[in-house]
Every structure is written in structure tokens, then in C-alpha cells.
Amino acid sequence: MQFHDFSTYRAFSRLTGLAKNSHDLTAVNGLSPQRMSTFKSSMLGFDFLYGTQRVNADVLTALQELADEAGLVETFIAMKKGAVLNRIEGYESENRQVLHTASRDVFGERPCAPEASARAKAELAKLRVFLDSLEDGRIVNGQGEAFTTMVQVGIGGSDLGPRALCLALQAYRRPGRSVRFIANVDPDDAAEVLRDLDLSTTLFNIVSKSGTTLETRTNEQLIRAALQQAGLDPALHLVAVTGEGGPMDDPSRYLTSLYMYDYIGGRYSATSMVGAVALGFALGYDAVIELLQGAQAMDQAAEEADIRANIPLLMALLGIWNHNFLGHATVAILPYSQALSRFPAHLQQCDMESNGKSVTRAGHLVQWQTGPIVWGEPGTNGQHAFYQLLHQGTEIVPAEFIGFRSSQYGADVEVEGTGSQQKLIANMLAQSLALALGRKDPNPARTFAGNRPSSILIADRLTPRTMGELLAMYEHRIAFQGFCWNINSFDQEGVQLGKVLAGRLLHRMRGDSETADVDPIEETLLREAGLL
């Protein structure tokens, strides 16, 4: 596979030219009914409406050319087959395959990466036995009672995706089962979760791919101590999800151990055992399978080369248009679904840790913008908070709305002739129109400039299957962008330096490095902060 620099593509020059006179949504017919119907793509359970993006037919043609020239779909297919894409040419790097898609390529006869899929199947089989044993009483606590709560302990990729999924799908929770999370090394995080728990009926799912993460190791110790203090045997209450053969792979210390593999990056691991255990505990094994089926269907559908028929690819390219050619620095993910309240946080990690890079896959400094700042909160709550800036601020923020035609619980109330779900979704559509069209007013403070880009992703209902589709859709959007920018979206070197410095400060705080190599700046910082 040959990778080229983003700025060398013919389509790059074409798009640079087109951006000088880009589509104005506030012009006469800038947002026509015909445009609204034409600029729509459908894929699996989702419709994607992008008439409110600042694109026209020429821009879409150039974006298609960009996708073709950069070989985005070819690279995606190679990724699924196990190409070693997590590397920087000529430098030390993780040098790994990128096979999160294998964690759900477990249904067909001919998986793309057979070995990785066989491992995923084996772990799913172990999970099923574990969940069945909790169900039929083969696994119970010391008093013979069933476990009712699971606390997942992990951070970063071992927290955000699983937490977002569990919250998104808690409407389908089995009666009497609940899941909580502890991530931060802040002792108050654990204290708050533990204070109301009946430890005797609680399982702790310790999730760490490396088995070495400071926060998770510390919280595991805290939990072991709490269990011992309550007279409970930690080995009967702790489950491990970790790398096989790693420092946490010690079956004698855990009720059961499940594995994940180094070719699945933390932020892409929600469909591996990292997310499946808590989800399976809360919802049951069948729901895990439905989620995986949804993700796998999206993995397959995302091989489509026509950008109008491939939503993740189209989203990636529209994002590039907004970021690189129209110059918008951030993107807001705005789900009109309370269940998706942590999904923007998950995407923030997935996107910013993947595409927040400054060197190409050849180790050269990039000469173009890479990943945008990603943020977001659920609507309508956001409307009463930061939407003021979206409508009238000086920073233009492309918005990605996500919504569902029906609610999860189906419980609704009619007030003034409409239900709450209708109100919710009407608000989402209204925001998209308001951003695009704006409003003229003699009062400048009441003027809305409009011409602010957004798109709408809508499905019937948020179910395990649609959640799987949505998760994979965004994973692929992020990967397609990284391929286009010619960066390695699968390493995270940028998180290392802070960890090293924190380690040095902790040494000093422990008082065990009163030696010559104490850095005067670190020393002063600790003193000035009142910590020495």
C-alpha cells in the first residue's frame, strides 16, 4: 500500500478552489426542498440528511475524487484484513495490525481476519458460559446469593466506550441488574460509587489491556481492600479483562479472566470483551450479539466506494470539507437522546486520540490540519446552555445531530397535542434549519447570520443493533479521515510525556528522591502548589 500526502492530491487543489466560493445556505434557494431530498443517504437503519451542509454537486464530485485518489475504501478493507497500519515508517512504533472489526466478524463463514475472529469467538463463548453461570446459580457469592451489580473499573478506552454503550442501552436492562463505573484515580470517584453498594452481591470487572495502568491498578487495590474489610474474598468478586499473558493475567486472583488482544486499540475496544462483559451482565448475552451484528453490518456496508451510499465515508469527507477547506476548528456531536449522553465523550476520545497527530505515516511533519476538536452534549439540554454560541458566536461550529423517531421505553405524555419524543425531535430539526437559514432582524442582537453547517443522522429507535451500527459508523468515519490525512490514527504517543512527569513528581512526593537529579522546576512547582 502506498500512502500519499493529503496536499498532493489533485482533489485537494480542486477543493481549495471550490472553497473560495462555497455554497451559501442563506442565498435564494440555498436550501431548497429539492436539495433537502437529494442530499440524503440511507444505510442500514440510518438516514443521513446533509442538505444543510455547505456543499453542492461540484464539491461532492471533488470529495468522491478525493476518496478515490486517497484509496480510502481500499485502505479500510486492508485494515479489516489485518494490514499493519499502526506504524510510522522508519521509526519505532507500535507496529501492529488494527483489527477491532474482527471482534464482531464472528457470524459469517469467511471472516476477513480468520485468526483474530476465531479468538473473538472463543472469548464470546467464554462470556456466554460466565453469564449463564451467573444466571443458573453456578456462580454465586459466598452466601449463595446471586450477583446483582457489576462495577467496571478501567479508564480511557477501558471506560468511555463501555460506559457510553451501557448508558445508551440501559432501557433494555434485565430486572435486578445494574452496572456502575469507576475510572478516575480521584479517590472520591470510587468512594461515591462504593458508598451505597452491597459489596456482597457486587462483581468488579477490572478492565485493563496492559494491566499496568496507574489509575486502574490503584482502584483495584482499593476495591480489594474494601472487600477484605467487609470479610469477602476478592477472588470471588473480581473479574479481569486484560491482555493474554500480561501482568494482570493471573486466573488465581480472579473469578474469571477474559482476554483482549494488542491489535485492538483501547478506544476501539468497546465491541471486544472490554465492553461486552458489563453489557452482557446488564442486558444479557443476546443483546451483546445484536450489538455486534449491528457493528458488523456497518463494517461490511462501509466497503462501498460511492460516497453517497457510504455514510461513514461521506461523514468523513464532509468533516474534511468543513475542517480543512472551510477552516472550522471544532465539531459538535449533538445527540437528541438522553441515552447517548456519554456518546460524545466516547467519540471525543476516539476521534481526538486517533487523529490529534502532527506527523505523517512516514514520520514527516504534516503541512495541513489534522483532527478537529470534538465535543458535545445531548440536546435539548445543550439548547439551554451553549447553543447561543452555535447560533450567534464568532466561531462557526459544524454540528452533527443524532436522533430517533421513537423513544426507547415508549412511555410518553401528550402535552399541547404532541408527545415528548415529538418535541425532542422537532427541536433537533429546528436547530439544523435555524443554523442554516438564520434570520434577518432590524435589531442586530436578534440577527442570526445563518449559513452554519450541520447534518442529521436519524434512525427509528436506539436498540442494541442500531447502537452497534452507530458505533461502527463513527469508528470508520474517524479512520477514513486519518487515512486521508495520511496519519497513524491508531497510536497515542501524546499521552506518554505527562505520565512520565507525573511519575517523577510522585517519586518526589514520596520523599524517595532527595537526589541530585531532582529537577528544580518540578521541585518548585510542588512547593508553590503547597504539596511539599
Helix (H) or strand (E) holding 462: none
- What are the CA-CA distances from residue 179 to residues 86, 153, 201, 224, 275 (Å)? 33, 11, 12, 18, 12
Task: Pick the closer one to ligand G6Q by CB: 11 or 277.
Answer: 277
Q: Grid coordinates standing for 291?
A: 450489538
Q: For this structure, is 528 an active site residue?
A: no
Residue 266, interface with ligand G6Q (CB under 6 A)?
yes
Residue 205, interface with ligand G6Q (CB under 6 A)?
no
> Which residue out of 20, 92, 109, 384 is catalytically annotated?
384
Residue 103, interface with ligand G6Q (CB under 6 A)?
no
Q: Which one of 35, 96, 100, 209 is in contact with ligand G6Q (CB under 6 A)?
A: 209
Q: Which one of 96, 267, 323, 477 is in contact with ligand G6Q (CB under 6 A)?
A: 267
- What are the CA-CA distances from residue 391 to residues 287, 383, 401 (Å)? 39, 10, 15
CB of 271 to ligand G6Q, least distance (A): 14
DSSP line for 10-63:
HHHHHHHHHHTT---TTSTTTT-HHHHHHSEEEETTEEEE-TTSS--HHHHHHH
> Which residue out of 123, 220, 290, 353 is catalytically annotated?
353
Residue 157, interface with ligand G6Q (CB under 6 A)?
yes
- Pairing verdict, β 149-153 and 178-182: parallel
Backbone angles phi, psi at 115, to 5 degrees: -65, -45
Choose the binding region for ligand G6Q from 69-77, 208-216, 287-295, 474-482 (rule: CB under 6 A).
208-216
Q: Which one of 213, 337, 355, 451 is in contact with ligand G6Q (CB under 6 A)?
A: 213
Residue 208, interface with ligand G6Q (CB under 6 A)?
yes
Task: Pick the closer one to ligand G6Q by CB: 351 or 353.
Answer: 353
Choose the binding region for ligand G6Q from 77-85, 162-170, 192-200, 262-270 (rule: CB under 6 A).
262-270
Choose the binding region for ligand G6Q from 9-17, 264-272, 369-377, 427-435 (rule: CB under 6 A).
264-272
CB of 350 to ligand G6Q, least distance (A): 8
Mask 409-438, x = binds ligand G6Q (CB under 6 A)?
------------------------------
d(CA 380, CA 336) in angstroms, rounded, equals 7
**b/e 348-384 (16+ beta carbons within 10 angstroms → b):** bbbbbbbbbbebbbeeeebeeebbbebbbbbbbebbe
CB of 348 to ligand G6Q, least distance (A): 11
Residue 219, interface with ligand G6Q (CB under 6 A)?
no
> Hey, what's the torsion of the CAs at 65, 69, 70, 74, to 10 degrees?
100
Are 276 and 127 a contacting pair, CB within 8 Å?
yes
150 bridge partner residues:
179, 203
Mask 220-259, x = binds ligand G6Q (CB under 6 A)?
----------------------------------------
d(CA 154, CA 157) in angstroms, rounded, equals 8
CB of 354 to ligand G6Q, least distance (A): 8
- Pairing verdict, β 454-459 and 46-49: antiparallel
Q: Which one of 97, 272, 370, 492 is in contact with ligand G6Q (CB under 6 A)?
A: 492
Choose the binding region for ligand G6Q from 210-218, 294-302, 382-390, 470-478 (rule: CB under 6 A).
210-218
Helix (H) or strand (E) holding 216: helix 214-229
Residue 158, interface with ligand G6Q (CB under 6 A)?
yes
Q: Is the dihedral of CA 491, 495, 497, 501 positive or negative?
A: negative
Task: Pick the closer one to ligand G6Q by CB: 269 or 324.
Answer: 269
Q: Which one of 56, 210, 218, 392 is in contact with ligand G6Q (CB under 6 A)?
A: 210
Residue 155, interface with ligand G6Q (CB under 6 A)?
yes
DSSP line for 133-199:
HHHHTSS--TTSPPP-EEEEE--GGGTHHHHHHHHHTGGGPPTT-EEEEE--S-HHHHHHHHTT--G
Active site residues: 353, 384, 499
* Residues of the shown chain interacting with ligand G6Q in the complex, contacts defined by CB under 6 A: 154-158, 208-210, 213, 216, 265-267, 353, 492
